[in-house]
Amino acid sequence: MAINSAVPNVEKKVLLASLMFAAAMLGLIAYAAIRLGISVPTCITNVKPFEEGELIRVAPGRYEAHVVAKTWSFKPNRIKVERGSVVDFYVTSKDIVHGFMIDRTNVNLMAIPGAVNYAQARFDKAGKHQILCHEFCKSGHDNMMGWIEVTP
């Protein structure tokens, strides 16, 4: 009986401590933003070449693919390289978290707003590789894809 009557007081203390902790965190966030000038990092997609996504040919057989994911597409979504090419993939997202996977390669990245992820792949056989989003990103996820065409 004595234990039961003590429980509400303990809950009140835990609730009060939680509210004080939350208030302290909000205060620290406000202090960092207002007094120290620290803000949330800007999205990397504000920086060229991540504004629209781009395939850059740096040398014969060497490419840099700057891929921007957004609901529900990749830019560029058609990448054409010649057989034997090595492609450096730099992947980011313009809005929410997406996936970036190229079939029959080891490329399997997350496309994250504010971050650039990297992978390299070599394409030794002519043909097509499908690019897929492997992170469920709402209703249009099923249609989020692209292609890499490797020419002979």
The dihedral of CA 75, 56, 100, 129: what is its sign?
positive
Phi, psi of 104 (to 5 degrees): 60, 25
Which is nearer to Cu ion, 75 or 141 (by Cβ)?
141
Owner of token pair 């597409």: 73
Which is nearer to Cu ion, 73 or 85 (by Cβ)?
73
Size of the site for Cu ion (CB under 5 A): 4
Q: How far is the CB of 66 from Cu ion (least distance, A)?
A: 19
**Continuous segment of H or E residues that includes residue 32:** helix 2-34
Query: Which 93-152 positions form the footprint of Cu ion (CB under 5 A)?
Result: 133, 137, 141, 144
Q: Indicate the pairing of strand 54-59 with strand 73-75.
A: unpaired
- By three-state DSSP, how is residue 19 classified? helix
For residue 32, what are the contacts with CB-CB under 8 A and spacing of at least 6? 38
Which is nearer to Cu ion, 43 or 72 (by Cβ)?
72
Q: How far is the CB of 149 from Cu ion (least distance, A)?
A: 22
Q: How far is the CB of 27 from Cu ion (least distance, A)?
A: 37
Which is nearer to Cu ion, 133 or 150 (by Cβ)?
133
Site mask, Cu ion, residues 49-68, x = CB under 5 A? --------------------
Which amino acid, 93?
S
Report the interface residues with Cu ion, using CB under 5 A: 133, 137, 141, 144
